[in-house]
Amino acid sequence: MALKVGKKAPDFTLPSTSGKKFTLSQDCKGKACIIYFYPKDFTKVCTAEACDFRDQFGAFRNLDVPVIGISRDDIQTHIKFQKEYNLPFDLLSDEKGNVCNAYDALIPLIRVPKRITYFLDREHVVRAVFSDIFASKAHVDEMIKRLQLEESKKLTNS
């Protein structure tokens, strides 16, 4: 079960492929963002998902919405994965699984991250969740639809 829509997302700090520690409340302060959890670097479906986020990255960048990927892989594996596939967004290492757990993104018993994507608004309240272990492309498509909906609401309200 994912975090519920309308719930404030837990703050966290994790090592990033940028070489710095990433803290949600600081690095995305006042910004909406996409946080996606995935099982493992260099696996078929996870690679397809990362490449889909890469290929659609312009849509997120144009709306100033950072994309952040999180798995339990170590930072060195993330750096290789990011470089190998030219990923234009940061990957965060949650080796102990604490952040995955806080976001209800761990498969019980085996403690492997689920494939789950969150759209957080500017106050880091969950506005959309998509969870499907096999449908990697659908995660990206759903988040783009949600962002477009948010943008059209802004235009209607202005």
User: pLDDT band for position 39 (50/70/90)?
Assistant: very high
Q: Cα angle at 121 between 144 and 30, to 5 degrees?
A: 120
Read off the DSSP letter of residue 88. -
Per-residue pLDDT at 139: 65
pLDDT digits (tens, 9 = 90+) for 81-130: 999 999 999 999 999 999 999 999 998 888 889 899 999 999 999 998 98
Count of other CB atoms within 10 angstroms of residue 61: 13
The pLDDT assigned to 157 comes to: 59
Percent of the chain's residues with pLDDT above 70: 87
- Indicate the domain borders of the chain: 13-157
Active-site residue, from 28, 33, 46, 100: 46
Q: Supply the pTM of this predicted model.
A: 0.89
Letter for the amino acid at 152?
S
43-74 per-position pLDDT tens digit:
999 999 999 999 999 988 888 899 999 999 99
Contacts of 70 (CB under 8 A, 6+ apart): 14, 35, 36, 37, 38, 91, 92, 93, 94, 99, 100, 105, 113
Residue 137 has what pLDDT?
64
Tell me, yes or no, if 28 is annotated catalytic.
no
Residue 105 bridge partners (DSSP): none
Q: Which is it for strands 116-120 and 33-37: parallel, antiparallel or unpaired?
A: antiparallel
Domain covering 13-157, topology: Glutaredoxin (3.40.30)
d(CA 28, CA 33): 7
Task: Write down the residue that tokens 């994912």 correspond to.
Answer: 2
18 to each of 6, 88, 98, 110, how far by Cα in Å?
30, 11, 20, 29
User: In whole angstroms, what is the distance from residue 72 CA to residue 49 CA?
Assistant: 16
Q: Is the dihedral of CA 83, 53, 46, 28 positive or negative?
A: positive
pLDDT score, position 108: 83
Q: What is the pLDDT of residue 71?
A: 97
Evaluate if residue 145 carries a pLDDT over 80.
Answer: no
